[in-house]
Structure 1
Amino acid sequence: MQGLYGSLWVDRWRTGETVERAGRTFDRGLLLAKATWAEELAGFSDMPDRISKALEACRHRNMPPTLPEFLDLCRQQHGDAPKALPAPRLSADEVAPRIAELARKVAKPQIGDTGWARGEPPFVRGPWESAIIELAEKGDPRFIAILQEHVANGVIRSERARAALGRETADAAAA
């Protein structure tokens, strides 16, 4: 901290009262601060990466942190983030078909594509059936033909579908 903040750090704790230890003179306030910080930071002794990251976070502060502020910085650091799973090991022969399948799934249908309506109905049948009937009711000949095929095969059996086809047949006869 003294390296980061210089006299701002030392002056925060210095009392001017000196203590003699092992032939050297120390400031009592600095010794007390050092002992207090060491005691409080002991709770992070098994997480030195959190202390390192908290020190790194201090590089962006203009003033040195108090002990409670520094402890909060240590708590905010998460050095125990989960590691990513290893990349799957696939051969080139396994990768190519998977990429082709994914490309097929995400490819957008072309405008005017009716393939979705021609195939087997999806698991959620209601919206699929309603969309086909609605497009046939609007007079789109492609969807009239698709609806006729589904009604003939018993795939779509609703009264609304039969009414839409009856209306189309009546409109065609009138024309």
Structure 2
Amino acid sequence: MTTNLPSSTQTSGAFPDPMEWLFGQLHGMFGNKLLDQFRSGHIVKGLDTGIENMKAVWADKIRGNGLKFADVRRGLAGAERLKWPPSWGEFLDLCRPPINVDAALYEAIEQMRKRQHGKDEWSNPAIFWAAAKVGEYDMISQTFLQLKPRFDAALKRVQEGEIKPVPERVPALAAPTASESTREYGRQRLDELNASELVRNVSKGGNIAWARQIIEEEKATGKVPLNKLNIARQAIFNVTGVQA
């Protein structure tokens, strides 16, 4: 029976298909143990659909988790120590370099401060998402010792799932123009100050139903004041990490 796999040295051009190369490397390590783990026996155009589906799923996961070629090679090096082919989750753990929690927390504190000015740079998106789970306000205002247990727990949760790229920060509220009245600007600042407490509470796990209502109102009417809309967006982002 055909293995449905080309040799890792065979290519259709100058470079091999990335998934064919990866699967060829794994097949070289584990032989039929790998094939039997994914083979369905359903052949379409000479290819086993179970194996082809595995390649498609792994390709999506590799892209979704932002793995680089060096990460994949690290995963293959780790797989050489295994007796059985790794599942996707096991392979992902092999690909990811271990994260030192103390170093990651120092980075998160520094970059969350820089993020307020749009100058943050993250060595690993998992560190950002862990900081986002703790909450921007707490990351900036609390001490290292206060943050460490919460950040450590958040980092472990983040690493259990798919890690998305770091999103752009929601734009800061614009400063008032000369044409804005002092009274109107004062009203907007009061709204912002009142809402800032809500945003801080949200970063600690508070309710964001009010923020979602504002977003829905904007979608329905298009008449929500910009400062109010930005506050709602920031609150949702603090909890979910998703821009509304």
TM-score bucket (shorter structure): 0.3 to 0.5
Q: When the two structures are superposed, what TM-score results if normalisation uses the length of structure 1?
A: 0.39
Greater Rg over alpha carbons, structure: 1
